[in-house]
Amino acid sequence: MQNEKLWHAIQEHQFDDGFASRLAREEKWSDEFALGAIEEYRRFLFLSQLADIPVTPSVTIDKVWHLHMTDTRNYWDGFCAKVLGKPLHHDVGKSKADDVRHRDQFRNTRALYATVFDEIAPDIYWGREEQKDNPTRRVITLVVCVLVVGATMTTGDANIMALGLLAAVLVWAVFSGVPPAISKKTNNSAAGCSGGGCGSDCGGGGCGGD
């Protein structure tokens, strides 16, 4: 691996106590997912130092980055000054031209990830589509499930009622938009991106060091 010394230094950097749990709480992620996101954030930080051009994170990684920057002593005085030896700035998009630029940077970042780590960036943290919280869709799905169960209950046949219940569960799992294995609640951008700064491809921020 290129620049293994820097990679080990990034891996060994200690976030402040409670950082992972605060991240999980604020983003409504599971503790396990938050820890995985932090590890992917470390990889993003490493890529930022290898690339000849600015790199752009996914929405998930960007959320970790934002929280880290709020801990100014750990980020600026600890990580940037002592690990990188220079500032690492967050470049926020302000125009459609920036959106296009960030999309290109995001694709390049994923390609660089594959080259450096010899594996594809995991979609659960680096994916292209956001699993958004959609209350309206959940309500409609719930109504359909209730109707399915209600219709089978009127038959009085235990087998049909069981099939109706199973069908309702499957409908809810497929159409409710709730990713139960990833977060404790919905509104989880874990699988990728919001439409914020960069369309549907990235977190909307690039970076660069001075």
Q: Where are the domains of the chain?
A: 4-130+190-209, 135-175
Over residues 17-48, the pLDDT tens digits come to 999 999 999 999 999 999 999 999 999 999 99
Output DSSP code: residue 188. B
Token pair belonging to 89: 């700035």
Burial tier of 106 (Cβ tally within 10 Å: 0-12, 13-18, 19+): buried
Burial tier of 1 (Cβ tally within 10 Å: 0-12, 13-18, 19+): exposed
SS3 content of the chain, % helix, strand, coil (to 5): 60, 5, 35
Q: Are 88 and 153 in contact (CB under 8 A)?
A: no
Per cent of the chain over pLDDT 90 is 50
Residue type, 23: L
Over residues 130-148, the pLDDT tens digits come to 434 445 666 787 787 888 7
Q: Are 192 and 58 in contact (CB under 8 A)?
A: yes
* Residue 91: band (very low, low, confident or very high) from pLDDT cuts 50, 70, 90: confident
Q: Find the Cα–Cα–Cα–Cα dihedral 176, 181, 184, 188, rounded to 10°.
A: -60
Token pair belonging to 59: 């929405």
Q: Which of 152, 146, 151, 107 is nearest to 128 (CA)?
A: 107
Q: Model pTM? A: 0.65
